[in-house]
Amino acid sequence: MKYYITKKIDATFEQAIDRVKESLGIEGFGVLSEINLHDKFKEKLNVDFRKYTILGACNPAYAYKAVQSEDKIGTMLPCNVVVQDLGKNVIEVTAVDPVASMMAIDNPKLAPIAEEVKRKLTRAIESLHNGVESFGLV
């Protein structure tokens, strides 16, 4: 089983980050954290690495349901979404598959929550389009 949902788009890295945040917002997710590995690797290890940002996305309603069903589920939250630059304006956007990650937890109450979050994350990723015109930015 794949543990992620992914799509490649044609955009600048900055455009992709904006589009992903917008798309997540439409599905009810907020971005709680943003980790820029490109900058962190340069700062801490003095190495050059491609643009690679981890967005910590959370849908509060589903997070609340999950915590009510499993008090340690916070170890699996938020849902991580990776935006990475593959070069030549090809950006890959990848989100964790919550159904795959919940398989590690023996609690059947989580399955329907994970399925719905997966549907929302899949819609958010699949709705990403190539080119700036699809988001009315031109």
The domains found in the chain, sorted by start residue, are 4-127 (3.30.310.70)
Spell out a b/e string for 56-82, using b for 16 or more CB atoms within 10 Å of the CB, else e: bbbbeebbebbeebbeebeebbbbbbb
> What is the chain's pLDDT, residue by residue, as a tens digit (138 residues)?
799 999 999 999 999 999 999 999 999 999 999 999 999 999 999 999 999 999 999 999 999 999 999 999 999 999 999 999 999 989 999 999 999 999 999 999 999 999 999 999 999 999 998 654 433 333
pTM: 0.90
